[in-house]
Structure 1
Amino acid sequence: MMDQWGNGEGDYFHEQGAFPQQLEHDGKGHIVGSVGEAVGPVAFSSL
């Protein structure tokens, strides 16, 4: 999936932290939305 996105074959994708933060830090992407605050603390498997 990263190869396709990196080659411009997609506009966005959904990922778990901390990968999006690393992409943004490396200048390879931007975080445009987050559900963490809206959802609140839940077990990973609940999503």
Structure 2
Amino acid sequence: MAGTLQYIQKQELPSLHACHCTDIYSKIALCRISNLKEVGVGLALEYE
């Protein structure tokens, strides 16, 4: 997880969306380095 966190942090993403398969411990770690958003059923994301 440490390597993944370092990689994500370097990307300077405006937000990060964690799906249902992301466990609570990983979500806690991710929210410490990024603007973590919860993904719900039916959510549609559009990227430019």
TM-score by length of 1: 0.34
More relative contact order, 1 or 2 (CA 8 Å, 6+ apart): 2
TM-score by length of 2: 0.34
Higher strand share: 2
Larger Rg: 1
